[in-house]
Amino acid sequence: MTRPDAMLTTVIIGCGDIAGGYDEASDGATVLSHAGAYRADGRFDVVACVEPDAARRQAFRDRWDVRSGFGNLDACLKDQDGFDVASICTPTDTHEVVLTQLLDSPARIVFCEKPMTGDPAHSAALHKAYEAAGKAICVNYLRRWDSEMTTLRDELAAGDWGALRSVTAFYAKGLFHTGSHMLDLIQFLIGPLTPQQALRRNEDFSPADPTIDAMLTGPKDIPVYLIGSDSRDYARFEAEITCAGGVVRIEDSGFRVRRRRTTDHRLFPGRTHLDEGTVTETTLDRALSGAVDNIHSAVTQGAALASTAETAISVERLCQQISQLRLMGATS
């Protein structure tokens, strides 16, 4: 354990949008990238970055005042003899290789973009190896650090909305790429899911990661409907949670929550309906700040991580099972 205000040295691997690009034109009002979150926190020193594109690497160093830059991770690991945290901001198909390389590095926690590897068996093997090495993997399912989602989870668990009836969720741009975010969020809110059926397949992202419609069940066999949109039309990430006492809608990619309660109908005596509802802005635009604060507490104080290798692997298994169900249906 170290002081809660201790400075942690950090390496960022990959210098694209999620690494820092989303915040490069920001005035600091939002935090949407790893570098932006580390800078806003103030207890992280980004000492190095890794990026094969030399121009992009230099632009990233200039914008975020990063002292060292490398074209590949091997060169970085040979030069950097000590760092506490590593961020993996590279494409999914590189995660397994990068996680393997970091296993013997000084990093105490690796903050990995989702999905962890895209293969639950490989992810589980890496998780086991990291546990044996005394290291942790934190996966960026960022809505777990949105305080409004935690509030909603607590409301549902306390029975504030009455019995849970169903969940209907909409997403686009790949089951693993974006659908995993939705599945992780639903599991965070209501508990474990079990796939039952896979339906339409739409290659709006890549042939290797299509958008797939699915039906799942949650606790007490609550039906959960996962419905795909086409990302070439527009981005969509929304969910409707139907309960006996009303309906909660997660809107605008999770930046807004609309709560509609049951009320007496103004025209028909004895009949109830839903009111117009109230809208709450979430803290999604600052969720990455919550993530790096959680990581700092985990390193310095042994705090539990909100998004772990275990929770990420459970979502990868769901995605794999849905994909397999779709293949079975396509060939039957």
Residue 294 lies in a domain: yes
- Interatomic CA distance for residues 77 and 110, integer angstroms: 14
Contact 259, 281 (CB under 8 A): no
Residue 19 lies in a domain: yes
Q: DSSP labels for 185-196? A: HHHHHH---EEE
- Interatomic CA distance for residues 185 and 40, integer angstroms: 25
CATH number of domain containing 157: 3.30.360.10
Count of structural domains within the chain: 2
pLDDT at 286: 95
In 10 A of CB 27, how many CB atoms? 6
Give me the numbers of helices (H) and strands (E) for the chain, helices first please: 9, 15
Contact 68, 46 (CB under 8 A): no
Asked whether residue 135 falls in the same domain as residue 189, the answer is no
Q: Per-residue confidence of the chain (332 residues) as pLDDT tens digits?
A: 678 789 999 999 999 999 999 999 877 778 999 999 999 999 999 999 999 999 999 999 999 999 999 999 999 999 988 999 999 999 999 999 999 999 999 999 999 999 999 999 999 999 999 999 999 999 999 999 999 999 999 999 999 999 999 999 999 999 999 999 999 999 999 999 999 999 999 999 999 999 999 999 999 999 999 999 999 999 999 999 999 999 999 999 999 999 999 888 887 887 888 899 999 999 999 999 999 999 999 999 999 999 999 999 999 999 999 999 977 765 43
Contact 164, 241 (CB under 8 A): yes
Asked whether residue 16 falls in the same domain as residue 109, the answer is yes
What's the Cα-to-Cα distance from 254 to each of 158, 167, 249, 282, 285, rounded to whole Å? 22, 15, 9, 7, 9
pLDDT at 265: 80
Structural domain harbouring 139: 8-143+287-301
- Interatomic CA distance for residues 279 and 281, integer angstroms: 7
Asked whether residue 168 falls in the same domain as residue 123, the answer is no
